[in-house]
Structure 1
Amino acid sequence: MNAHCPAPRLLALAVLASLLAAPVLAQGVYRIVGPDGKVTYSDQPPPATTPARPVGGTAAGVSAGASAQLPFELRQTSSRYPVTLYTGRDCAPCNSGRNLLNARGIPYSEKTVETPQDAEALKRLSGEASLPFLTIGSQQIKGYSDTEWSQFLDAAGYPKQSALPSSYRRPAATPLVATARPAEAAGASSAAREQPAAPSAPAEVPVTPPPQNPAGIRF
């Protein structure tokens, strides 16, 4: 939390400038699986031949189906300044942030951080392993502050009171890092799959349930 704040008018200008002038947040962090099975993360898309899956931080904060349900002005705002909330299990500040967004009727996508892979991707995105983490367009906000979150949402043009239609359904939260098949299984040829004598590789790699607080995530 900042120790001091500028005058209200200067604060509003500073918040708006940060939303408009900051470079657009990368299209996400890519989880890249190399030929040797080594997993790396990068904000640059890999070659087309390298298996990868985008991780969080996408420019479209709300799914196309949910966005189509929004009033025109709110749809324009959410398209220009998409909101993404990163949360963890048993995180009271995350619940407070979620409640604020829901109360204001902010359309947002939620990414959960529960595994060591999620925590690694979060560090790549925010530089820290603390939650909650909020992005509004290119603006990143670490930790929960009712005042700070409200200031940035106001500057982005989101309504102070919910304008969501009664038919709106918020997208379900999804893991920050999606479970993907191993590179070897993804690149297997159809001829190899047709060999009856060869044992087939499992479609999914079993995942050990993550600890309650992986990689020292702080709330």
Structure 2
Amino acid sequence: MQRVLLVEDHAAFRQALALLFDAEPGFEVAGQAGTLKEARRAALRARPRLTLGVIDLNLPDGDGSELIGELRRRNPEFAALVLTASLDRAEHARAVEAGAAGVLHKSAEVDEILDAARRLAVGEQLMSPQEVSEMIRLAGRSREEERLLRENAARLTPREREVLQALAEGLSNREIAERLHMSVDTERTHMVNILNKLGAHSRLQALVLAARAGVVRLGGG
């Protein structure tokens, strides 16, 4: 009997999955959770221990990849299937690096989800060694890119951060200049410096990179 942990913050979707697995021979839903904290608690309570997890990545209190790594270290026989709405391959790669056996999008057909679970239950691999290797390389590149972005963002001056925050609030270059009591030419000079430091090719790209680095709050909130 496969004892399944469902980790998904949308309760209706999670409960629908629970019905599917409980109706499937050889599977039993042993725990449900909507957050990492709840999932950790459910995993500790489960007796006998869990053998399969269907886990979302974007949870209210963190990344589901963390949980996959923890559960796999505690029980190397535990198999994790990621079921996510994210299309970010770097996120998928981090999950595989943490030990996920496969990644499915939430738009997958019910039969596809159950088939993946059945294959894991009998010890089949959902991904080839080559696919796993490529995912792990991608995860490494993603971490390196994030490290470089943080280093580049750390080079921004307080004034450049103010310019970026004003840009995040939707202000034009003239409005930014007025708010920060500078000339439009000075604002443009700051923006050129920002683009160079972040390695961006446009104001929009600079804004996205700054948001990823935690330099600005999009929407000004």
TM-score, structure 2 as length reference: 0.24
Which structure has the larger Rg?
2
Q: Which has the higher contact order (CA 8 A, sep 6+)?
A: 1
